[in-house]
């Protein structure tokens, strides 16, 4: 159990049969009345953000989130298969659980599978990936002065905005959190 007076950013708590992560917190001591803690909580299962106030002495059970490194094997229809590299156990997750997390992830790459009490609720891709460009329009000489960009399709099928000098067959580095081009490899 953790009291509201000990809240910090990033702590996960159980509240109303849901698991929330504290995004923001503020201890408020008004001139009149008792002090309270104002928080912004993110539901880690569906991503919704709610604001809630607590008395500083109020207690909440702290949630334990397990993040396990697993290898993404392959997709079969609506199911995505992952393998624990230590025990070689395989699990299948549906597309609702995975969401857009595997947009930039190739087969056989490592991901973090997040679970609470044995229930998997999300997949975290690696922060940066290196992918080959399979299709893009050629850039023209002289177009680079404006810092313009063009769409490019990478080997996973995702479309990324890249600078004009990047060509088909190049390997690029992508930030999976934002989907932005970082550099050529």
Let me know: does 90 contact 83? Beta carbons within 8 Å: yes
Per the structure, the complete domain to which residue 109 belongs is given by 65-124
Say which CATH number the domain at 116 has. Answer: 2.40.50.140
Q: Are residues 56 and 69 in the same domain?
A: no
* C-alpha span between 30 and 174 (Å, rounded): 46
Final residue belonging to a domain, choices 108, 124, 140: 124
Q: Which pLDDT value is given to residue 143? A: 56
**For residue 145, is pLDDT > 70?**
no
Digit-coded pLDDT (tens) for 26-71:
998 988 888 999 999 988 877 789 999 999 888 989 888 888 899 9
pTM of the predicted model, to two decimals? 0.71
Q: Is 102 exposed, middle or buried (0-12, 13-18, 19+ CB in 10 A)?
A: buried
Digit-coded pLDDT (tens) for 78-127:
888 999 988 988 888 888 788 788 888 888 889 988 888 888 888 888 88
Based on the structure, what is the number of domains in the chain?
3
Q: Which pLDDT value is given to residue 121? A: 80
Say which CATH number the domain at 9 has. Answer: 2.30.30.30
- Residue 47 contacts by C-beta under 8 Å, 6 or more apart in sequence? none
**For residue 140, is pLDDT > 70?**
no
Q: Are residues 145 and 114 in the same domain?
A: no
**For residue 144, is pLDDT > 60?**
no
Q: Which pLDDT value is given to residue 26? A: 92
């Amino acid at each position: 159990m953790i009291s509201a007076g000990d809240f910090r950013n990033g702590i996960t708590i159980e509240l109303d049969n849901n698991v929330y992560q504290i995004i923001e917190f503020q201890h408020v001591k008004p001139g009149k009345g008792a002090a309270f803690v104002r928080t912004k909580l993110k539901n880690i299962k569906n991503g919704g953000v709610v604001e809630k106030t607590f008395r500083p002495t109020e207690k909440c059970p702290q949630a334990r989130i397990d993040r396990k490194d697993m290898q993404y094997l392959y997709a079969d229809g609506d199911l995505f298969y992952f393998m624990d590299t230590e025990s070689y156990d395989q699990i299948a997750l549906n597309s609702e659980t995975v969401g857009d997390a595997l947009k930039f992830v190739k087969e056989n790459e490592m991901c973090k599978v997040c679970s609470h009490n044995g229930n998997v609720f999300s997949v975290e891709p690696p922060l940066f990936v290196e992918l080959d460009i399979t299709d893009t329009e050629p850039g023209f000489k002289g177009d680079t002065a404006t810092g313009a960009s063009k769409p490019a399709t990478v080997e996973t099928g995702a479309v990324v905005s890249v600078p004009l000098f990047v060509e088909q067959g190049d390997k690029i580095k992508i930030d999976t959190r934002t989907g932005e081009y970082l550099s050529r490899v």
